[in-house]
Structure 1
Amino acid sequence: MRAHWIIERVQREQRLQYGVRTPRRLIVVTPTYVRTFQALHLTSLLHTLLLVPYPLTWLVIEAAPAGDSSNDTTTLLARSGLPFLHISFPDPMPDNWADRRLTEARMRLRALRMDGVVVFADDSNVHSMELFDEAQKVKWVGAVSVGILAHSGRSGAGESELSEEAKSPVPIQGPACNSSGDLVGWHIYNPLPHTGATFVGAAKTMLRAKMEWAGFVLNSRLLWREAEGKPEWVRDLDAIGKVGEQIENPLVLLKDASFVEPLGNCGKKVLLWWLRIEARHDSKFPPGLVYETFVLIIVVLV
């Protein structure tokens, strides 16, 4: 324990000398819903957040069409030791992935009324600690590179096809910069097999539906009406989503996406991994299940 204390003290002194002198509060936004792997994902994320060396508030927005959030989720958050807000969202979470993305987008907008740097941390993603360091650098809106851990889902694929899939590049979503460090375009996830990421230049029409919220960091004052120094290239939050407009990612909040600040060495570092490992939507797993008896399994290696 003394060794851990010494390491913690050294790290604290290093942050005081070389880190952020006056850190801003992080608003970590996590949309969630009751499902088989919910507790698994939230537990993993809360252990990540416990390591963050900055003040933060964990805003967990849970789809609760019945009007009440899950008691199991509330208990898990209360035991985490983190400052949190547990908010109910009145709409159910759709089973269809495309509809689910739009519902989660509306859930995330709840966080933009609070004061701080907003980090969109989905419960099933894997986050680097450097992501939270980079979030402190954001002036208005920043973008980081996201590694997409996706699978083709072709269970019947042959050996040659699986070998070809293993050689394909890992898809990356994130900013693309020139040699001067200026944003010139985006790497977006291409769902076609063996294509990895697709580059979209700033002058081309971007397929915004392919951009994940997790790859963006926002200063929440960006959308405040009376914020000091608010840029003109930001849309009015109250006007967003009306007249049938789909809110697909944070770029919808901007009039001009060229002002986005590339983070993580101009997008060269992958700071989080987008991971979607879920059970079937109709699977059941009783919360709080405890095995009172265990079966001893002995594996003999010959």
Structure 2
Amino acid sequence: MGSGDRLKKRIQLWKKALVHFALCFIMGFFTGFAPMSSVSLFTSRNAEALRTKFIDSAAVANRSLMAELKPLVGSSSNHDLRQLIVVTTTRSGDWWQDALLRRMAETLRLVPQPVLWVIVQASSDADTEATAEVLRNTGVMYRHLAFKENLTNAAAEEDDHQRNLALSHIERHRLTGIVHFAELSNVYDLQFFQELRNIEVFGAWPMAMVSANRKRVVVDGPICNSSNVILGWISEDLSNAKFSLSNDLIMKSTEETIKAKPSKINISGFAFNSSILWDPERWGRSISVPDTSQDSIRFVQEVMLEDETKMKGIPADCSKIMLWRLHVHER
């Protein structure tokens, strides 16, 4: 074999080596861009779990005094389900208030969001800071309002003053939703809050007022038909009753006990769309004579009782008690 043949054979070997190297490099390059299916599935699943956990934790951490309520955009079918519920409560210095505050917090934690809890309390109350500490650990979106007025009026008037402060805050910040005035001593069926989201303008319901010391149960509220149209109002002592709330109560009630229209509705017995505070014309209320009394509660109740056609009775047939108010007496 001559030197020319050996050179030619050596060049062919180098060409084969270069071709093999190029093929291996190309295969390795494209294989690196094609992830394994099992690895991808596992990674995606864990990444999603971590992302969800982070979002949930952040949401709880930001449910504070300065939490902003962003408008919810969606289809009309999701509107009722995502309607904001604004629950307002007042605080006094009574010895049992701390326990009731914590119980209310536990109740609102179980309600599907969005829910905003507005708590009003006198800043002179020594428990103001303690209340703030409790609220920070509830996991419920809240706003804690403290006022400095030194009122010497009756307790009922002071409660109305605190509620008017809450309504002023709601109006100033345009917190659009369904407003419910809750007593800390109230006990709820959780379905009650979903029923609130079905209210468009005004809503009312029968509620039971229970006094353990007197062994007395009084049902107060509307009577309505299957279309949730209110037929009248009752206030019945059912301490010894053994009948259902709907048909039996209507049959038992006489013309004297059924009122066409009450002079005033129990503060926890109604709810309303908060936009009535700053846009009453939207709901058919004339504002030719502006209200300068700053008594928003009285204004809302007047609007409700003026036109009951805008008021919806809940739940269906008004046949179920979903709210109990416990009368707690100081020892």
TM range (shorter): 0.5 to 0.7
Work out which of the residue numbers 168, 174, 191 in structure 2 matches 1:130: 191
Q: Within 2, Cα distance between the matches of 1:235 and 1:187?
A: 31
1:223 — aligned with what? Answer: 277
C-alpha distance in 2, partners of 1:125/1:263? 17
1:187 aligns with 2:187: no
4+ aligned runs moved over 6 Å, structure 1: 18-21, 193-198, 234-238
Separation of aligned partners in 2, 1:234 and 1:274: 34
Indicate which of 295, 301, 306 corresponds to 1:251: 301
Distance 1:181 1:45, change over 3 A: closer
Q: TM-score, normalised to structure 2's length?
A: 0.60
Which AA in structure 2 matches 1:53? Answer: P
- Equivalent position amino acid for 1:207 in 2: S
Deviation at 1:92, TM superposition (A): 5.0
3-state DSSP of counterpart to 2:106: helix
Q: Distance in 2 between matches of 1:50 and 1:86?
A: 17
Q: Distance in 2 between matches of 1:172 and 1:104?
A: 26
User: Which position in structure 2 is the counterpart of 1:44?
Assistant: 103
> Which of residues 133, 137, 146 in structure 2 aligns to 1:88?
146
Cα deviation digits, residues 32-63 of structure 1 (max 9, x gap): 12221111000010000111112111111113
User: Measured at CA, do residues 32 and 218 of structure 1 come closer, stay the same or move farther in structure 2, by a change above 3 Å?
Assistant: same
Could you tell me how far 1:122 is from its partner in structure 2? 1.5
Greater percentage in helix: 2
Quick one: which amino acid aligns to residue 187 of structure 2? Answer: V
Aligned to 1:239: 291
Distance 1:116 1:83, change over 3 A: same
Number of residue pairs matched by the alignment: 239
Q: Distance in 1 between matches of 2:161 and 2:236?
A: 20
Q: Does 1:79 align with 2:137?
A: yes
Question: TM-score of the superposition, structure 1-length normalised?
Answer: 0.66
Q: 1:57 to 1:98 in 2, by over 3 A?
A: closer
Q: Quote how far apart the aligned CAs of 1:20 are.
A: 7.3
Task: Give identity over the alignment, percent.
Answer: 23
Q: Deviations over 1:251-271 (max 9, x none)?
A: 234332342110111321111
The question of whether the paired residues in 2 share the 8 Å contact of 1:212 and 1:249 is answered with: no
Residue 207 of structure 1 corresponds to 263
What residue ranges of structure 1 are gaps of 5+ in the alignment? 1-17, 154-165, 281-302
Q: Which residue among 214, 220, 224 is the counterpart of 1:177?
A: 224
Task: Give yes or no for contact 2:121–2:162 (8 Å, CA) kept in 1.
Answer: no
CA change 1:148–1:107 in 2 (3 A) is farther
Q: Which residue of structure 2 lines up, in the alignment, with residue 106 of structure 1?
A: 164
Letter of the 1:252 partner, please give it: E
Decide which of 309, 317, 329 is 1:266's aligned counterpart.
317
- In structure 2, which of residues 108, 120, 123 is the aligned counterpart of residue 61 of structure 1? 120
- The offset of 1:175, in angstroms, is 1.3
Unaligned runs of 5+ in 2: 1-76, 242-248
**What letter corresponds to residue 35 of structure 1 in structure 2?**
D
Write out per-residue CA displacement over residues 160-196 of structure 1, whole angstroms, 9 at most, x where no aligned residue.
xxxxxx6x7x311221124654212112367xx9899
